[in-house]
Structure 1
């Protein structure tokens, strides 16, 4: 194999590896943000359950008049 074509192949492999690493980092960041959002949602649900336990009569029925 000629040196110029070998050099181009190695360079292209390096670029492909850098692109793969960048995509993996973005995926990891997105997963981290989703995890934080899920944790916030679970905390919110726990707060609502606690509020309902303190005042169980609220929100149990809806008065509708026509």
Structure 2
């Protein structure tokens, strides 16, 4: 049994898992942010005439 090779293999496996989890966390955070932006956009669209008129007196 080659212990150093086994140790390196386990370390690479752990690194791969850590990188995978980091990428998943980034994707989750981005999806959450996009969902929040969509909710804000839908909330604003409930009042479509809001901000449509500008009254100016000179």
TM-score, length basis structure 1 = 0.71
Per-residue deviation, 1:31: 0.2
Larger relative contact order (Cα-Cα within 8 Å, sequence gap ≥ 6): 1
Per-residue deviation, 1:47: 1.7
Structure 2: how far apart are the matches of 1:18 and 1:47?
45
The structure whose residues are more often helix, as a share, is 1
Structure 2: how far apart are the matches of 1:18 and 1:42?
36
Q: What RMSD, in angstroms, separates the aligned Cα atoms of the two structures? A: 1.9
Q: What do residues 6-65 of structure 1 show as CA deviations (whole Å, max 9, x unaligned)?
A: 0000000000000000000000000000000000000011021xx48xxxxx88xxxxxx
1:42 aligns with 2:39: no
Q: Which runs of 5+ in 2 are unaligned?
A: 54-58
Q: Tell me how many residue pairs correspond in the alignment.
A: 52
